[in-house]
Amino acid sequence: MAITSEYARSLPAIYRDILAAFPQFDPTRKEGYGLSFQSLYSAMNGKYSIGDIKLACDQMMHAGVMEIRNTIFATPTPMGEELIAAVTGGNPASKASVPPFPVLQN
């Protein structure tokens, strides 16, 4: 399913604002990088309560747009990255360019 700008514009404001906050908070953010609810709150200058942000992210999680990690981090799924691009008129975040750190074997 292709995400259109019409669909993105039809989303309630809180969802558009949360999605737009990801590149606003960190323009160099890579695909798969999330933000804490507190960071989203800060990026939106207190427009919504942290509780409302968490509830909205939970709703997006149930729709397959976000993952909630460690109970405090909202991380966009690939569909969420497409929505961010549609909401902001930009491109999805680039893939991380740093390789994972090798695990030391005992």
- 51 within some domain: yes
- 85 within some domain: yes
User: What pLDDT does 102 receive?
Assistant: 85
- Which structural domain range is residue 42 located in? 31-90
- 11 within some domain: no
Q: What's the pTM? A: 0.82
- 15 within some domain: no
- 74 within some domain: yes
- 20 within some domain: no
Phi-psi region of 23 (alpha: psi -120 to 50; beta: other; left: phi over 0): alpha
- 4 within some domain: no
User: Can you tell me whether residue 105 is helix, strand or coil?
Assistant: coil
Residue-wise pLDDT for 83-103, tens only, equals 999 998 876 565 666 778 888
User: What pLDDT does 92 receive?
Assistant: 59
Residue-wise pLDDT for 29-67, tens only, equals 888 899 999 999 999 998 999 999 999 999 999 999 999
The total number of structural domains that make up the chain: 1
Q: What is the mean pLDDT of the chain?
A: 89
